């Protein structure tokens, strides 16, 4: 028998075997080959010892020596699966499932003592145990997040949650959303049986279960077992079945996310057959997802790229990390108020300054509202909320900014005003305070000219609503020093947000690229394409916001102002402005029809008295639509996706972007590029036919819709060299 190193066997003299998950080569336990071998060896040994002496072992406790209980499938392996290697994956998956099943049917009680995160494969392992006790600690997270990576739980997770909770609850509470529960919520929702306050209590409870249940079996292995809530063979249940695909369409808005569909199929089909057959069905649906492109895209973005970005792949090396204690937020409007809240939530003292005390107090009111909501929903305690609010000091007096070690400016988007407010406070805050501007479009290098310490000046572009949006775009001006960049990076991490780093340029990365998405949608309206189809195309491509409604939110006047300023700057520098067909549409909307967007009460949409959208403006069809003019739906979607992707490649060419991971993460988390693509450059990598396929398609779009789709040189060169967009990490 092979001695297992990944799973440690500890047996006491009462006959309880504790299997300690402790991969010697990794910081977390994963379902890698070493684990699979160890797990098989453990199953062999358990069976052998019990065969020799049925009383040798009274029960088994599964726990972990790591911070996490078990991290699940090894994503480095999964991202490499191809249709050609899918068979191996299927066989390997079935083998591990068989071994889980052997332990589940030993006839002895098996308890999972969950002492950290048990997500995905970790929770599946726990589901194969007869009893689950979870430690009530901040690191304990329980659930099946596979759907968020374009996968399904392929280690028996679908089969067992359906048998544990019933089809409906398994789908809604566990499988389709990928919800991660803390210990208490996991217990409330029936995912674990007990919660323990301390590690000692955790093991004591596991032992108590073994003492009380000498012959344990899963509910589904007991005679007369029925799946809770019924199965499709029950007419009452069957009547509800059509609601599932309808909900699914609601969840994905028709965008190409294959995982929810496969999860639904595995759950419903698996509920109608015996346990073993259900495991095979689940495995097949899993392998189909793992071999497909979407899961690769999603694993790349939501795991690898996110990790690279958050771990500081772009932070200058060798600079000591620093923590900000007290931050000055200048301007208590929509953005300033949200920034103040996010900083205070992370434990930073905030001085929130506006021109009048009344405005600053109103800005703090935003935090008061968010805190009250969090308390009423049980997401935080009154004490914590009070402490958060006590950290925010509203003021109109610059003297109150003394001692601030960072400044975040969020006054109106006006360069001379921004210069003025920095001059006012530069000598009041700490002499080495980090100086940040939240401008969404103005060049950082120009804004920096307003301060004496230009090396400490940097862009910190937050997204609205700040408390919800996870991204911050850090913009390095020409004179920004490495120290400032490192400090800005640390500050963004300190407030638990995700920082991407770009070099200075008008509109930076995010504002510039989202403009291409919007312009393309607006241009299609101008070409006479049915506006409702344009909206539908954006939704079905997977954009969280429809394109014309987004335009209305941003107002038609603001992008127009920015465009005119950019145009002037380009022409003053002797360049030619590449006029976009959307410009004429926006000009007509504003100048001829007086429709400036939602805040003006009329835009591409009509708005009711209450400010709610009341349908697309019928005038669009009258003034822009050519009846009967249609283009393929695929073209409509790809015009938006390609417009963003092609400009992102140009930003790499121009050196504004320096990292592929930043582009992917920034596009999904900042500007709503569809998640199924894995981000704007992964979309290019994963396009049908790879980069050459993407280049060919871009050329086709250029021929049909305009030169702006001509693939940039960098893209063509990479396609010719057989490369993809990666950071080489
Ligand atoms: P806002 O109009 O809601 O707030 C601006 C605030 O600045 C007002 O409360 C105003 O009283 C205050 N202010 C003006 N002069 C001041 C002075 N001398 N000292 C102190 N406070 C002063 O504007 P919003 O939307 O919060 O935008 C602020 C900045 O953030 C702008 O630069 C904008 O481009 C940028 N931004 C906006 C985003 C958005 O979605 N609205 C997203 C990202 C950045």
- Report the 10 Å Cβ neighbour count for 584: 13
**Among positive and negative, which fits the CA dihedral 180, 182, 185, 186?**
positive
Which whole number is the average pLDDT over 222-243? 86
Give the mutation target among 336, 401, 553 for probing the ligand 1 site: most ligand atoms within 8 A of CB. Answer: 336
461-477 per-position pLDDT tens digit: 999 999 999 999 999 99
Segment holding 613, helix H or strand E:
strand 613-616
Residue 213 structure tokens: 């249940």
Kindly tell me if the per-residue pLDDT of 691 is higher than 60: yes
Please say if the pLDDT value at position 729 is more than 60. Answer: no
Going from the Cα of 518 to the center of ligand 1, the distance in angstroms, rounded, reads 23
Mutation choice for ligand 1 from 412, 553, 561, CB with most ligand atoms inside 8 A: 412
- Range with the poorest average pLDDT among 68-77, 480-489, 610-619: 68-77
DSSP string, 234-291: SHHHHTTTTHHHHHHHHHHTT-S-HHHHHHHHHHHHHTTS-HHHHHHHHHHHHHHHHH
Cis peptide before 465 (omega within 30 of 0): yes
Residue 1 pLDDT level (bands cut at 50, 70, 90): very low
- In total, the chain counts a number of residues equal to 729
What value does the mean pLDDT take over residues 274-288? Answer: 96
Spacing, Cα 385 to ligand 1 middle (Å): 25
> Cα Rg for the chain, rounded, in angstroms?
28
354 lines ligand 1 (CB under 6 A): yes
Output the CA 353–ligand 1 centroid distance in Å. Answer: 11
- In which band, very low, low, confident or very high, does the pLDDT at 665 lie, cut at 50, 70 and 90? very high
- Of ligand 1's listed atoms, the one at least distance from the Cα of 418 is 18
Do 616 and 548 meet the contact criterion of CB atoms below 8 Å apart? yes
Q: What distance in Å separates the CA atoms of residue 428 and residue 356, rounded to the nearest whole number?
A: 19
pLDDT of 4: 53
What is the reported pLDDT for 252? 82
Can you give the pTM of this predicted structure?
0.92
Q: Is the CB of 280 under 6 A from ligand 1?
A: no
CA distance 146 to 154: 9
Tens digits of residue pLDDT in 375-397: 998 888 999 999 999 999 999 99
Q: Residue 125: what pLDDT? A: 96
The vertex-330 CA angle with 452 and 598, nearest 5°, equals 125
Cite the active site residues: 124, 146
CB 409 less than 6 A from any atom of ligand 1: no
CA distance 287 to 281: 10
Taking the C-alpha atoms of residue 39 and residue 496, their distance in angstroms, rounded to an integer, is 37
Q: Which atom belonging to ligand 1 lies closest to the Cα atom of 332?
A: 9
Q: How many CB atoms lie within 10 A of CB 327?
A: 29
Closest ligand 1 atom to residue 554 Cα is 40
From 328, 329, 331, 510, the mutation candidate for ligand 1 (largest count of ligand atoms within 8 A of CB) is 331
CA nearest ligand 1 atom 3, residue: 333
From ligand 1's centre to the CA of 585, what distance in Å?
A: 28
C-alpha triplet 176, 151, 91: angle, nearest 5°: 130
Residue 533 corresponds to which tokens in the numbers above? 């189809």
* 652 CA from centroid of ligand 1 (Å): 29
Over residues 351-372, the mean pLDDT reads 98
Mean of the pLDDT values across residues 23-44?
92
711, two tokens: 């693939």
Q: How far apart are CA 279 and CA 160, in angstroms?
A: 9
Q: What does the pLDDT read at residue 246?
A: 81
Sign of CA dihedral 211, 212, 217, 218: negative
Q: What is the mean pLDDT of residues 721-727?
A: 94
Instruction: Work out the mean pLDDT of the chain and round it to a whole number.
Output: 94
Angle between helices 531-541 and 510-526 (to 10 degrees): 140
Residue 2 pLDDT: 44
User: Measuring from atom 20 of ligand 1, which residue has the nearest CA?
Assistant: 354
The pLDDT tens digits of the residues spanning 189-202 come to 999 999 999 999 99
Average pLDDT over residues 37-53: 95
Q: What is the mean pLDDT of residues 481-508?
A: 96
In the predicted structure, residue 164 carries a pLDDT above the cut 80: yes
C-alpha of 18 from chain center: 36
Atom of ligand 1 nearest to the CA of 337: 26
Three-state DSSP state, 112? strand
Quick: pLDDT tens for 247-274: 888 778 788 899 999 999 999 999 999 9
Q: Identify the pLDDT of residue 233.
A: 84
List Cα–Cα distances, 13 to 59, 200, 505, in angstroms.
12, 18, 69
Which class for 377: exposed (0-12), middle (13-18), buried (19 or more C-beta within 10 A)? exposed
Atom 31, ligand 1: residue with shortest CA distance: 413
DSSP 58-76: -EEEEEESSSSSB--S-HH
Nearest to 649 by CA among 689, 615, 600, 698: 698
Distance 460 CA to ligand 1 centre (A): 13
Of the ranges 99-103, 187-191, 628-632, 691-695, which one carries the lowest mean pLDDT score? 628-632
Q: What is the pLDDT of residue 218?
A: 97
Q: Is the pLDDT of residue 97 over 70?
A: yes
**Ligand 1 midpoint to CA 591 (Å):** 26
535: Cβ below 6 Å to ligand 1?
no
Q: Ligand 1 in contact with 407 (CB < 6 A)?
A: no
């Amino acid at each position: 028998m092979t001695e297992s190193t990944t799973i440690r066997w500890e047996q006491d003299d009462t006959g309880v075997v504790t299997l300690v998950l402790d991969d010697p080569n990794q910081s977390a336990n994963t379902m890698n080959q070493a684990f699979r071998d160890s797990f098989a060896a453990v199953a062999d040994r358990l069976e052998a010892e019990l065969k020799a002496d049925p009383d040798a072992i009274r029960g088994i406790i599964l726990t972990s020596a790591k911070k996490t209980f078990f991290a699940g499938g090894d994503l480095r392996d999964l991202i490499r699966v191809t249709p050609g290697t899918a068979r191996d994956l299927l066989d390997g998956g079935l083998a591990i499932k068989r071994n889980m099943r052997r332990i589940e049917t030993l006839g002895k009680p098996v308890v999972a003592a969950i002492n950290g995160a048990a997500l995905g494969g970790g929770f599946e392992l726990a589901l194969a145990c007869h009893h689950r006790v979870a430690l009530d600690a901040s690191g304990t997270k329980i659930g099946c997040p596979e759907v968020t990576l374009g996968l399904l739980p392929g280690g028996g997770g679908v089969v067992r949650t359906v048998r544990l909770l019933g089809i409906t609850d398994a789908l809604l509470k566990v499988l389709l959303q990928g919800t991660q529960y803390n210990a208490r919520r996991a217990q409330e929702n029936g995912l674990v049986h007990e919660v323990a306050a301390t590690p000692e209590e955790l093991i004591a409870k596991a032992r108590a279960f073994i003492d009380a249940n000498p012959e344990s079996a899963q509910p589904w292995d007991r005679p007369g077992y029925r799946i809770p809530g019924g199965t499709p063979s029950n007419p009452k249940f069957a009547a509800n079945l059509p609601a599932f695909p309808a909900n699914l369409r609601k969840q994905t808005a028709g965008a190409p996310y294959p995982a929810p569909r496969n999860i639904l199929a595995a759950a419903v089909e698996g509920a109608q057959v015996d346990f073993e057959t259900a495991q095979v069905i689940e495995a097949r649906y899993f392998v189909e997802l793992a071999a497909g492109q979407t899961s690769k895209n999603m694993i790349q973005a939501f795991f690898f790229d996110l990790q690279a970005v958050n771990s500081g792949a772009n932070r200058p090396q060798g600079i000591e990390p620093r923590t900000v204690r007290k931050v000055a937020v200048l301007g208590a409007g929509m953005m300033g108020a949200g920034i103040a809240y996010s900083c205070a939530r992370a434990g930073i003292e905030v001085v929130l300054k506006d021109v009048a005390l009344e405005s600053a107090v109103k800005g703090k009111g935003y935090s008061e509202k968010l805190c009250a909501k969090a308390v009423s929903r049980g997401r935080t305690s009154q004490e914590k909320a009070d402490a958060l609010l006590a950290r925010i000091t509203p003021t109109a007096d610059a003297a109150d900014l003394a001692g601030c070690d960072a400044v975040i400016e969020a006054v109106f988007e006006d360069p001379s005003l921004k210069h003025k407010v920095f001059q006012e406070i530069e000598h009041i805050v700490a002499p080495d305070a980090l100086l940040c501007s939240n401008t969404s479009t103005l060049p950082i290098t120009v804004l920096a000219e307003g301060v004496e310490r230009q090396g400490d000046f940097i862009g910190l572009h937050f997204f609205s609503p700040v408390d919800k949006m996870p991204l911050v775009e850090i913009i390095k001006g020409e004179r920004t020093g490495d120290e400032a960049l490192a400090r800005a990076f640390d500050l963004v991490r300190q407030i638990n947000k995700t920082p991407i780093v770009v070099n200075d340029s008008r509109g930076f990365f995010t504002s510039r690229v989202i403009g291409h998405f919007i312009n393309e949608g607006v241009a299609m309206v101008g070409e006479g394409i049915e506006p409702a189809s344009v909206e539908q195309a954006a939704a079905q491509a997977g954009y969280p916001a429809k394109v014309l409604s987004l335009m209305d939110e941003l107002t038609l006047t603001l992008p127009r102002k920015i465009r005119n300023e950019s145009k002037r700057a380009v022409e003053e520098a002797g360049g030619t402005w590449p006029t976009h067909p959307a410009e004429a549409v926006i000009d007509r909307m504003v100048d001829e029809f007086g429709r400036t967007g939602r805040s003006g009460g009329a835009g591409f949409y009509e708005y009711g008295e209450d400010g709610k959208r009341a349908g697309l403006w019928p005038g669009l069809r009258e003034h822009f639509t050519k009846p009967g003019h249609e283009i393929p739906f695929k073209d409509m979607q790809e015009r938006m996706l390609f417009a963003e992707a092609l400009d992102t490649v140009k930003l790499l060419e121009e050196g504004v972007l320096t990292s592929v991971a930043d582009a992917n993460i920034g596009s999904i988390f900042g500007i709503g590029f569809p998640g199924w693509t894995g981000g704007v450059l992964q979309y290019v990598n994963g396009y049908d036919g790879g980069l050459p396929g993407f280049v060919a398609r871009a050329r086709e779009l250029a021929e049909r819709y305009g030169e702006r789709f001509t693939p940039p040189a960098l893209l063509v060169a990479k396609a010719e060299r057989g490369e993809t967009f990666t950071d080489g990490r």
